[in-house]
Amino acid sequence: MSLTRYDPLLGIVPLALLGSMVVHRFLGVPLENALIGGGTVAMLALVDGLFLRLPNRFRST
C-alpha cells in the first residue's frame, strides 16, 4: 500500500483545525482569528485537491 498525493491533503484538514486550537490555547490568539487561519489552510488544501490538481480519473484528455 503506497501513499498518494491525496493522503497528506486529507491529513492537513484536521491538523490545520487542531493547530488553530493550539494557537488559540497557548498563544492567546482570539478563537475567531485562530479558526479563520486554520480554516483558510484547510480550504486551500481542499481547493488544491479537488479543483486545481484533479484526480487522474477526472482529468479531461
Per-residue pLDDT at 57 = 66
Q: Is 56 exposed, middle or buried (0-12, 13-18, 19+ CB in 10 A)?
A: exposed
The predicted-structure confidence for 20-53, as pLDDT tens digits, reads as follows 999 999 999 999 999 999 999 999 999 998 888 8
pLDDT of residue 59: 56
Q: Is the pTM of this model over 0.75?
A: yes
d(CA 36, CA 55): 27
| Closest CA relative to residue 5, chosen from 55, 42, 57, 43 | 55
